[in-house]
Structure 1
Amino acid sequence: MGLKPKDEQEKGNVVPLFQSGDYFFHRGIEAYRKNHLQRAIKLLERAVKITNTEPVFHVQLAAVLSEIGEYERSNEILQNVLTEKDDVAECYFFMANNYAYLGLFEKAEKMTLRYLELCPDDRFTNDANDLLELLRFEREEDDDWDDLEEDEDELIAQFERASYLVKQGEMQAAIAVLETIIDEHPTYWTAHNQLAEVLFRIGDASAFDICETVLEKDPGNLSTRCNLALFYIKNGDAKSAEPYIKSLCQVYPMDGDHYMKVAETLCSVGEYKAAYDRLKELTRWELEQKAELVYCFAVATYHCGDRKKVSPLCKRAEELGSKQAAATLALLEKGPVTDDQIRFDIWVD
Structure 2
Amino acid sequence: MEKTKPVASSHQHKIIPIQLDATFFFERAVQSMNRYHYDKALKYFRKAVEYEPENPVNQCNLAGILSEMGKYDESNAILQDVITRIDPSMTECYFYMANNYANMEDFETAEQALVQYLEKDTEGQFLTESEEMMDFLSFELERPTQITSIKSREGLIEHDKARELLEEGKFVEAVQLLEKIVKKFPQFAAAQNNLSLAYYYLGYFEKALSTIYKVLDIEAGNLHALCNLAIFYQHFGYESKLQGLLQQLKKTYPMQEDHLFKVATTMGILGEHSTAFRLFKRILRTGDSGMDPALYHYAAAAAFNSGYAHEAEKLWQRAQNLDPKSDIARFYLSQMKSLQTSDKKSTISYQYHLPFEEQFRQLENSEEGFSQLIIQDPMVRSSFFWALRHGDRDTKLQVIQAFGIIADSEIENMLR
Q: Is TM more than 0.5 here?
A: yes
Please tell me whether the aligned partners of residues 301 and 310 of structure 1 are also in contact (alpha carbons under 8 angstroms): yes
Offset of residue 174 of structure 1: 0.6
Please tell me whether the aligned partners of residues 223 and 259 of structure 2 are also in contact (alpha carbons under 8 angstroms): yes
User: Which residue in 1 is equivalent to 2:349?
Assistant: 343
Offset of residue 72 of structure 1: 12
Offset of residue 331 of structure 1: 2.4
User: Which residue in 1 is equivalent to 2:117?
Assistant: none
Offset of residue 298 of structure 1: 1.6
Deviates more, 1:273-282 or 1:185-194: 273-282
Deviations 1:267-306 (A, max 9, x none): 1111122223323323265343644332222222234443
Please tell me whether the aligned partners of residues 107 and 137 of structure 2 are also in contact (alpha carbons under 8 angstroms): no
Which residues in structure 2 correspond to 1:157-176 (within 5 Å)? Answer: 157-176=157-176
For residues 275 and 216 of structure 2, the distance between their equivalents in structure 1, rounded to whole angstroms, comes to 23
Offset of residue 167 of structure 1: 1.7
Offset of residue 59 of structure 1: 4.8
Which residues in structure 2 correspond to 1:322-337 (within 5 Å)? Answer: 325-332=329-336, 334=338, 336=340, 337=342
TM-score, with normalisation over the residues of structure 2? 0.50
Deviates more, 1:254-263 or 1:278-287: 278-287
Deviations 1:71-109 (A, max 9, x none): 999999x6xxxxxxxxxxxx3138963895426569659
Offset of residue 26 of structure 1: 7.6
For residues 96 and 299 of structure 1, the distance between their equivalents in structure 2, rounded to whole angstroms, comes to 46
Residue 186 (structure 2) pairs with residue 186 (structure 1):
yes
Deviates more, 1:197-206 or 1:26-35: 26-35
User: Which residue in 2 is equivalent to 1:301?
Assistant: 303
For residues 209 and 324 of structure 1, the distance between their equivalents in structure 2, rounded to whole angstroms, comes to 35
Aligned residues: 262
Q: Closer, same or farther in 2 for the Cα pair 1:192/1:325, shift >3 Å?
A: farther
Deviations 1:196-237 (A, max 9, x none): 111011111211111122223322121111112112324555
Which residues in structure 2 correspond to 1:210-289 (within 5 Å)? Answer: 210-282=211-283, 283=285, 285-288=287-290
Q: Which blocks of at least 5 consecutive residues in structure 2 are unaligned? A: 1-33, 46-57, 59-66, 76-91, 115-129, 355-378, 380-416
For residues 282 and 289 of structure 2, the distance between their equivalents in structure 1, rounded to whole angstroms, comes to 10
Secondary structure of the residue aligned to 1:286 is: coil
**RMSD, matched Cα:** 4.6
Q: Closer, same or farther in 2 for the Cα pair 1:341/1:253, shift >3 Å?
A: closer
User: Which residue in 2 is equivalent to 1:314?
Assistant: 316
For residues 329 and 39 of structure 2, the distance between their equivalents in structure 1, rounded to whole angstroms, comes to 36
Which residues in structure 2 correspond to 1:54-203 (within 5 Å)? Answer: 59=70, 91-93=104-106, 97=110, 100-101=113-114, 102=130, 108=137, 139=146, 142=147, 145=148, 148=149, 155-203=155-203
Please tell me whether the aligned partners of residues 264 and 346 of structure 1 are also in contact (alpha carbons under 8 angstroms): no
User: Which residue in 1 is equivalent to 2:376?
Assistant: none
Q: Closer, same or farther in 2 for the Cα pair 1:271/1:59, shift >3 Å?
A: same
Offset of residue 343 of structure 1: 3.5
Q: Which blocks of at least 5 consecutive residues in structure 1 are unaligned? A: 1-23, 37-55, 79-90, 114-137
